[in-house]
Amino acid sequence: MNDQGGTITLVDIRKNIDQAIGAKDASLARALMTELWSAYPGPASAPLILSGFQALEELGDEVDVNPLNVCVLRSFAVEPCVPILKATALLGHIKLDVTLGEFNTYAQDILSPESPAYAPDTDCVILGVQTRDIAPDLWIRQGKPVSERVADVIGSFESLINTFRSHSDAYLLVHNLQQPAWAGEGILDVASAQSQRDAICQINRGLVAAAAKHKGVYVLDYDALVARHGRANWSDESRWLSMRLPVAMENLHHLSDEWLKYLVPMSGRVAKALVVDLDNTLWGGVLGEDGVGGIQLDGEYPGAAYQAVQQVLLDLSRRGVILAVCSKNDEADALKVIESHPGMLVGTDSFSVLKINWQDKATNIRAIAEELNIGTDAIAFLDDNAAERLWVRQSLPEVCVIELSDDPMTFADALRRTPVFERLGLSSEDKQRNQQYAEQRQRDDLQGSMASLEDFYRSLDMQLDVFSVTPAEVARVAQLTQKTNQFNLTTRRYSEADISRFLNDPSFDVFAARVIDRFGDSGIIAVVIVEVEDTKVRLDTFLMSCRVIGKTVETGILSIIASELEGKGIKTLTGHFIASAKNSPAGSFLADHGFKEDEDLGWQIKLPAASLRVPDWFKA
């Protein structure tokens, strides 16, 4: 009995996990535990996952985890959910510390400053109260007028939320009220002025309004969760009566998963990008074998299953999730399908990166992460092929590999179920993010169609803004010195305090630069720190974001600064190149701009220099 219909038994997987741990193969053990949980989520597997992770820790497993401290206040038993919640979280690289309020003392816990809810390092408090506990006469219709009860219950929630927020800044996640499976008035309820269902809906709307008055207070739609699995099937009434556990055994992990949809974004361990395969993932069939006419992608069975996946991609993209393709295919053929197949809902401009080649997927995913300038731990991967999934799980254990069954009709749901795509709110940056990446790709595409590089540079309509840094830019400047690895002449890492010190030191000048071109404003993308000694200037730091490499921006920046220094009477510019593992792109920078190497003094150039002129494709 399991969700995935797998034929391997729990006992077998457990044996394989023990073998992998015995062989000290941490990534295989981790991959097997993910498979175990996917096939048999629930109270029997949770202890195996927890002790498995204990063993991995002892093996020195290296994947980072995000910690989160959670306290659950409740009107029902939740103890069996705790190991299930912790196990699922660990598989998603989140380490949860869970405390519980006493059974049914949720109100006292909120009112009392000594309660576990107010422990100093609490990140999130979950408040789970059942309809039958806070509004018993709405749970079982007793014939009283409902309108008064609605206002009372909303008032109770408001009071709980306001009191909590007055004592704590931690996140608060409040369950809304579930509908009973059967309305007291039977079929009359739906149109009744005293409708039980409608009363609960009004309370739930009032709860949303009460939460919206505060920062960091969220409503967990418990009623929708129950409805999703069937109101008739969710509860175990006899277990409620004997053990106060109202949720049936097979649904415990569904409650845990719903909590995680909030806890995951709260922990920060979200996926910023989703990398998708093509064959049998975005369309049915294999393009290389079935040809463009043979793949299945339309509104009928089974093509509709793949269109459903593409629809989820569109939804995720609107939420700020970056999309990328990683497929073993002929690139030209695959691009043609993406661009012009009538069944496609996403297009080439939906994707920020497309890796369509014959390389292994782990290498491609690493490259995608680099190009997007994010960590591999912020990537989720969708691929119908179990062997590819296992390969990526073992090579890149920090990537969120989405588990899929054999049935494409379940793929879209698997995506929707994954908590790493949830967000607590959408910043304007999130909404703009895909637009920024799309602009970047437009720039890259343009390069292909230009007759010469100079034409290309000219077509970008670039404007350089090089300026002396003020305190307002100190944070961004320091961040760039710490993050920039490739185009970095000396890789000197500076803190905000260091940069401030440079600003206040008359012998140092700190410059920053922005590029504005026809696709947008890049923001600050370069930092130059110089030290003045009489008529000589030393380049302490010259770095540039990899986003603007290949457009002669470095030439422009260096030339503008050289010209300004020359105007102040500087006669010589000097510099060193300090090689690092990653900065070979900056290796020839000094030589390329006319600096000559001197054994003792490093590289230097006399001003004015013909090689330090701002190219004419930059707008004045």
Q: Which chain residues interact with other proteins by CB under 8 A?
A: 1, 10-11, 40, 42-45, 47-48, 50-51, 77, 79-80, 83, 238-239, 241-243, 245, 249-250, 252
Paired with 603 in beta bridges are 575, 597
403 secondary structure, DSSP code: P
C-beta closer to other proteins: residue 243 or 409: 243
Q: What amino acid is encoded at 423 in this protein? A: R
Whether residue 302 is preceded by a cis peptide bond, meaning omega within 30 degrees of 0, is yes
C-beta closer to other proteins: residue 45 or 195: 45
Beta strand ranges found along 93-167 (DSSP E): 94-100, 124-128
Give the whole-angstrom CA distance, residue 116 versus residue 69. 11
Smallest gap from residue 16 Cβ to other proteins (A): 15
Kindly give, in sequence order, each residue whose CB lies less than 8 Å from that of residue 41, ignoring residues fewer than 6 positions away.
2, 3, 84, 88, 253
- Are the beta carbons of 8 and 16 closer than 8 angstroms? no
C-beta closer to other proteins: residue 25 or 79: 79
C-beta closer to other proteins: residue 77 or 503: 77
Smallest gap from residue 517 Cβ to other proteins (A): 59
C-beta closer to other proteins: residue 247 or 322: 247
Smallest gap from residue 413 Cβ to other proteins (A): 22
Smallest gap from residue 89 Cβ to other proteins (A): 18
Q: β-strand 379-382 against 353-356: which pairing, if any?
A: unpaired
C-beta closer to other proteins: residue 42 or 419: 42
C-beta closer to other proteins: residue 240 or 391: 240
SS3 content of the chain, % helix, strand, coil (to 5): 50, 20, 35
Smallest gap from residue 312 Cβ to other proteins (A): 30
C-beta closer to other proteins: residue 74 or 393: 74
Give the whole-angstrom CA distance, residue 565 versus residue 257. 60
Smallest gap from residue 243 Cβ to other proteins (A): 6
CA 164, 166, 172, 177 dihedral sign is positive
Structure tokens belonging to residue 398: 């920090």
C-beta closer to other proteins: residue 41 or 408: 41
Smallest gap from residue 50 Cβ to other proteins (A): 8
118 secondary structure, DSSP code: G
- Are the beta carbons of 175 and 220 closer than 8 angstroms? yes
Structure tokens belonging to residue 168: 């704590």
C-beta closer to other proteins: residue 181 or 241: 241
Smallest gap from residue 290 Cβ to other proteins (A): 40
Smallest gap from residue 13 Cβ to other proteins (A): 13
- Are the beta carbons of 174 and 219 closer than 8 angstroms? yes
C-beta closer to other proteins: residue 212 or 249: 249
Smallest gap from residue 77 Cβ to other proteins (A): 8
Smallest gap from residue 19 Cβ to other proteins (A): 16
Paired with 235 in beta bridges are 247
* Measured CA angle at 112 (ends 110, 113), to 5 deg: 105
Q: Which residues of 57-69 are buried (b: 16+ CB within 10 A; e: fewer)?
A: eeeebeeebbebb
Q: Which helix (H) or strand (E) holds 339?
A: helix 331-340
C-beta closer to other proteins: residue 83 or 303: 83
Give the whole-angstrom CA distance, residue 439 versus residue 434. 8
Give the whole-angstrom CA distance, residue 543 versus residue 529. 9
Smallest gap from residue 443 Cβ to other proteins (A): 54
Residue 299: count other Cβ atoms within 10 Å of its Cβ. Answer: 8
Q: From 119, 129, 128, 76, select the one nearest 99 (Cα to Cα).
A: 119
Kindly give, in sequence order, each residue whose CB lies less than 8 Å from that of residue 271, ignoring residues fewer than 6 positions away.
321, 378, 379, 380, 400, 418, 420, 421
Whose tokens are 């969120």? That residue is: 400
